[in-house]
């Protein structure tokens, strides 16, 4: 057994935890390890940058653009499947491995606002893709499950949606995919508690709380 390798791995794991990462996901650790071993060279300002744009504004803009690109591909992939939107797909796929959830659990898992999420659920119930029953633990809540029709429709979209995942990843190498996964996971861990607090975020308080100094 290569004990030196195990020792080095334990040292890296300790450094991972010291940086504040609490995830037990092996893929998240592997992505961090890849990023830690391969530091980015300072990139050139990308084409299309507007004069005076900050690094942060370009990141925000490109994140929005990536969402729009993905939705364009998803719309094409879902044609003729009986699933009419990316939101409908993500609600169905969230239930696929878990069996059942309450309405609010499903909405929060998909990082949706309640009115929007309830509308997606209403459409899926009308299509017969979801079934709802009273929650035995809370009479005020409804538990949702996939129907046979919902499961069949969802599974019928998997092949096309797999193509989308490869197209969205574009021309990134495997190493770059791991680096991007690590960065996106880090951002997700930052934003998720803010979303889950169910409070209207005060931007100035968030900046102070996280010691972020915006360039105005």
Query: What integer pLDDT is reported at residue 135 of this predicted model?
Result: 84
Tell whether 104 is covered by a domain.
yes
- Torsional sign, CA 57, 59, 60, 64: positive
195 lies in some domain: no
**Does residue 117 sit within a domain?**
yes
Helical residues (DSSP H) of 170-212, grouped into ranges: 174-196, 203-209
At residue 16 the predicted structure's pLDDT band, cuts being 50, 70 and 90, is confident
Residue 108: how many other CB atoms lie within 10 Å: 17
Domain that holds residue 88: 75-161
Has residue 125 got a pLDDT over 90?
yes
- The structural domain count of the chain equals 1
| Residue 84 belongs to some domain of the structure | yes
Has residue 42 got a pLDDT over 70? no
Checking if the pLDDT of 24 tops 90, the result is no
Residue 18 confidence (pLDDT): 76
pLDDT tens, residue by residue, 70-115: 999 999 999 999 999 999 999 999 999 888 999 999 999 999 999 9
Give the distance, in angstroms, between the CA of residue 7 and the centroid of all CA atoms in the same chain: 33
Task: Please give the DSSP secondary-structure letter assigned to residue 200.
Answer: -
Domain membership of residue 149 (yes or no) is: yes
Distance separating alpha carbons of residues 121 and 119, to the nearest angstrom: 5
Position 1 pLDDT exceeds 90: no
Q: In angstroms, what CA-CA distances link 34 with 7, 8, 42, 174, 182?
A: 18, 14, 17, 10, 9
Residue with the bigger pLDDT between 35 and 31: it is 31
Share of the chain above pLDDT 90, in %: 58
Q: What is the CATH number of the domain that holds 134?
A: 1.10.10.10
Position 119 in a domain: yes
Report d(CA 80, CA 157) in Å as an integer.
9
Q: What is the pLDDT of residue 43?
A: 56
Does residue 183 belong to any structural domain of this protein? no
Structural domain contains residue 110: yes
R_g of the chain, CA atoms, integer Å? 21
Helices 26-37 and 174-196, packing angle to 10 deg: 120
pLDDT tens track for 127-185: 999 999 988 888 788 899 999 999 999 999 999 999 999 999 999 999 999 999 999 99
């Amino acid at each position: 057994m290569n004990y030196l390798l195990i020792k080095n791995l334990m040292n890296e794991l300790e450094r991972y935890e010291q940086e504040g990462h609490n995830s037990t996901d092996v893929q998240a650790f592997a992505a961090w390890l890849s990023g830690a071993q391969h530091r980015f060279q300072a990139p050139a300002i990308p084409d299309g940058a507007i004069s005076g744009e900050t690094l942060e504004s370009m990141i925000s803009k490109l994140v929005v653009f990536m969402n729009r690109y993905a939705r364009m591909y998803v719309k094409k992939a879902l044609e003729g499947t009986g699933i009419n939107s990316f939101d409908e797909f993500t609600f169905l796929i969230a239930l696929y491995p878990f069996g059942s959830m309450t309405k609010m659990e499903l909405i929060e898992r998909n990082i949706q606002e309640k009115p929007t999420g309830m509308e997606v659920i209403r459409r899926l119930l009308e299509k017969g893709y979801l079934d709802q029953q009273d929650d035995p633990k809370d009479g005020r809540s409804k538990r949702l499950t996939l129907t046979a029709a919902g499961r069949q429709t969802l599974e019928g979209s998997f092949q096309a949606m797999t193509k989308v995942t490869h197209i969205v990843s574009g021309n990134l190498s495997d190493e770059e995919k791991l680096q991007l996964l690590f960065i996106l996971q880090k951002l997700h861990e930052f934003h998720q508690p803010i979303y889950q607090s169910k409070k209207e975020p005060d931007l100035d308080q968030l900046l102070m709380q996280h010691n972020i100094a915006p360039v105005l």
